[in-house]
Amino acid sequence: MDCLFKNLDSWNPEGLRMVLNRAGFHRTALQTLGLPENWLRSAAPRAALLGRSEQGSNLELLLRLFTLGDPLDGGVALQLFGDVIHGLLEIGLLTAGSGQIRSRFQISPVKEGWMACDFPERQCDPTGDYVMGVSPSTLLLSSLTPVVGKRALELASGIGWQSGNLVKAGMSVVAVDVNARALELGKFSARLCGIDGIDFRLSDGFSAVQGETFDLIVANPPYVQSPGGGMIYKEAPVGESICARLLKQLPDFLEPGGIAVVILNWSHTSDDDWSEVPLSWVAERGVRRWLFQSDCSSPGDYAWRWISTDLRFADDQAIIDEMRRWLTHYQQNGINRISGGFLVLQKCEPGDEWTRADSRSPGDVDVRAGQDVLRVLNNQTWLNTDPDLLTTRYSVPDGIRSEVSMGLAKTGWERQTIRLISPARLSYDGQIDENILRLLALAAEGNPPLAMVEEVRSKPELAGIPDLEARITDLVRELVSHGMLVPC
C-alpha cells in the first residue's frame, strides 16, 4: 500500500492546530455550542451539525470540510487556512481540483486533541480497509485501562487513540494493527496532537511482537459475531472469533503481574451459559480472569444492529439478504444469544489464580474504572496470602457512596433498600445493610474490623452471637474482594 501521507515526518502541525483552535473546532468550544463528540463521529443530520454554527464562519467551514466531507471553494479554503494550506496539500491531507479543496479524511475533535479517520462513505470501498474513528467501545476501553508498569501494547490499535493516552501517561507503547491504512492515520493523528513515542507496527495479531512481553495489553479487536465478511475493522473474513484467537495467545505476552483489558463479543446457547465461552478462551493456569457481560441480544436483534448501519447494504433487498445470511449462520451453529462485554486478565503464579464473572451496563461505568480494576486485582492478590482480616486496618476509596431508596407507606416514608457503589460503579453496585455501612465508617476512622466485633459484643442483646467473628470476617472479605476496603 502506498503511504497515505507524504513527508509526514517533516510536516509541522502547529499551523493546522492553530487554525482548528482559533475557529473553535475543538471539544470545549463545540460542547458549548451543543455539539457533543459523538455527533462528530456519527451520521448526525447535516442540519444538526451546521445549525449550531454561524453561517459562513470558519467553524462552519471546518465542519463542512472535515466532518461532512464537503468541498470548499479554493479561495475560501485559502482564506481559512492561509499559508498553512500549502503544507496540508503537500502531505496529502487536502486535495485540489477544479477550483475546489477537499479533505481526504475526516478529522474529529476528541478529548484534548483530534483524530483522523475515513469518511463513512468509504465503508463501501471493496478493499474493506475502512478506518473508523474513536467509537463508544474505544472510550469504554480507555475508562477501563489502569496505567501500570512501563511498557504497553495496544493490540488491534486502529488509529491508536488509546496508545496516545498511554504515552501521555508516561508509558512506552507499541501499537499494532493488521490494517496499514489505520496505522498511517494513527501516525498522522499522533503528530497532529503532538504525541511522540508510539511505535506503530503492521501486525496480524501478535506476529510483530514475538518474543516481547508487556506490563499492560489493551485491545478493542474486530469482535462482531458475523458469518464472515470483508470489513477489517469489525469482523473476521470467515465465521471465526478473532477475540478467541487473540485471547488464547495473550497471556504469553504479559509480564508477571501484567494486566490486560480486552473488549469482546461472543456467541452462546442460552442466558445461563453466558460466561463459559469467553472464559474457555483463556487457560486458567497462571491467569486471573475477571469477565464482564454488558449486554445480551437475540440473533435477530444483534444482526440488525450491525447490518442496518452498514452503508454497504443500501436497499431493502440487500439488507434482507444479509440478515438471512447471518441468521442462517446462527441457526446452523446453535447460536441463540450473543453477548458483549470485556475481560480483565492478570498474569500470576500458578496457585494464585481466581475467576469472577459479573454483569454491568457500559453506560454505568465511570471514566475512573481503571482504578476500580487495579484496586480489585491488588486486593485479590492480598487475600490469597490468607491475612488476618479482623486485625488489619483498611482505607476506604475516595468516591465510594451509598444510595437509599425510600417508599411511601401508611405511616410515612420508609427506607426500603441501601445500595453501595464503588467510585467508578464497576467493582461493586449492589444492595447492602446497615452493618456494612458501619463497618466502612469504622474503617474510615482508622479502626480495624475487630472494633466492630467489640462494638456489637458491648450490646447485651447481641453479646451472645456465637459466630460473630466469622460473620464480620466474611463481610470484610467481601468488601476487600470488591475493592471497597483497601488494606493499609
Q: What is the pLDDT of residues 134-152, one digit of tens each?
A: 999 999 999 999 999 999 9
- The answer, yes or no, to whether residue 390 has pLDDT greater than 70, is yes
The whole-number pLDDT of residue 274 equals: 96
Q: Which three cell numbers stand for residue 477?
A: 472479605
The rounded distance, in Å, linking the Cα atoms of 133 and 185 is 10
The whole-number pLDDT of residue 378 equals: 93
- The answer, yes or no, to whether residue 10 has pLDDT greater than 70, is yes
> Could you tell me if 262 and 342 are in contact, meaning their C-beta atoms sit under 8 angstroms apart?
yes
CA atoms in the 13 A half-sphere facing the CB of 103: 20
Compute CA 24 distance to the chain's CA centroid, rounded to the nearest angstrom.
27
Confidence of residue 361 (pLDDT cuts 50, 70, 90): confident
Q: Average the pLDDT over 17-42 and give the result.
A: 90
Q: Average the pLDDT over 252-269 and give the result.
A: 97
The whole-number pLDDT of residue 1 equals: 56
Q: Which three cell numbers stand for residue 193?
A: 496532537
The whole-number pLDDT of residue 86 equals: 97
The whole-number pLDDT of residue 29 equals: 93
CATH fold of the domain at 117-365: Rossmann fold (3.40.50)
- The answer, yes or no, to whether residue 240 has pLDDT greater than 90, is no
Lowest mean pLDDT among 201-205, 323-327, 355-359: 355-359
Lowest mean pLDDT among 222-231, 372-381, 436-445, 464-473: 464-473
The rounded distance, in Å, linking the Cα atoms of 120 and 311 is 8
Q: Average the pLDDT over 82-109 and give the result.
A: 97
The whole-number pLDDT of residue 328 equals: 97
- Placement of cell 503532538 in the chain: 194
> Could you tell me if 267 and 338 are in contact, meaning their C-beta atoms sit under 8 angstroms apart?
yes
Domain ranges of the chain: 8-110, 117-365, 394-487
- The answer, yes or no, to whether residue 39 has pLDDT greater than 90, is no
Encode burial over 17-55: b for 16+ CB neighbours within 10 A, e otherwise: bebbeebbbbbeebeeeebebebbbbeeeeeebbebbee
Q: Which three cell numbers stand for residue 312?
A: 454497504
CA atoms in the 13 A half-sphere facing the CB of 410: 0
Three-class DSSP labels, the chain: CCCCCCCHHHCCCHHHHHHHHHHCCCHHHHHHCCCCHHHHCCCCCHHHHHCCCCCCCHHHHHHHHHHHCCCEEHHHHHHHHCCHHHHHHHHCCEEEECCEEEECCEEEEECCEEEEECCHHHHHCCCCCCCCCCCHHHHHHHHHCCCCCCEEEEECCCCCHHHHHHHHCCCEEEEEECCHHHHHHHHHHHHHCCCCCEEEEECCCCHHHCCCCEEEEEECCCCCCCCCCCCCCCCCCCCCCHHHHHHHHHHHHEEEEEEEEEEEEEEECCHHHCCHHHHHCCCCCCEEEEEEEEEEECHHHHHHHHHCCCCCCCCHHHHHHHHHHHHHHHHHCCCCEEEEEEEEEEECCCCCCCEEEEECCHHHCCCCHHHHHHHHHHHHHHHCCCCCCCCCCEECCCCCEEEEEEEEECCEEEEEEEEEECCCCCCCEEEECHHHHHHHHHHHCCCCCHHHHHHHHCCCCCCCCCCHHHHHHHHHHHHHHCCCCEEC
Lowest mean pLDDT among 39-43, 76-80, 381-385: 39-43
- The answer, yes or no, to whether residue 43 has pLDDT greater than 80, is no
- Placement of cell 504469553 in the chain: 252
Q: Which three cell numbers stand for residue 265?
A: 463479543
Q: Torsions phi, psi of 30, nearest 5?
A: -70, -35
pTM, two decimals, is: 0.93
Mean pLDDT score across all residues of the chain: 93
- The answer, yes or no, to whether residue 363 has pLDDT greater than 80, is no
Compute CA 337 distance to the chain's CA centroid, rounded to the nearest angstrom.
22
Residue type, 246: L
The whole-number pLDDT of residue 2 equals: 66
168-174: long-range contacts (C-beta < 8 A, 24 or more apart)?
Answer: 168/195, 171/147, 171/216, 172/197, 172/199, 173/197, 173/198, 173/199, 174/198, 174/199, 174/201, 174/209, 174/212, 174/214
- The answer, yes or no, to whether residue 382 has pLDDT greater than 90, is yes
The rounded distance, in Å, linking the Cα atoms of 93 and 107 is 10
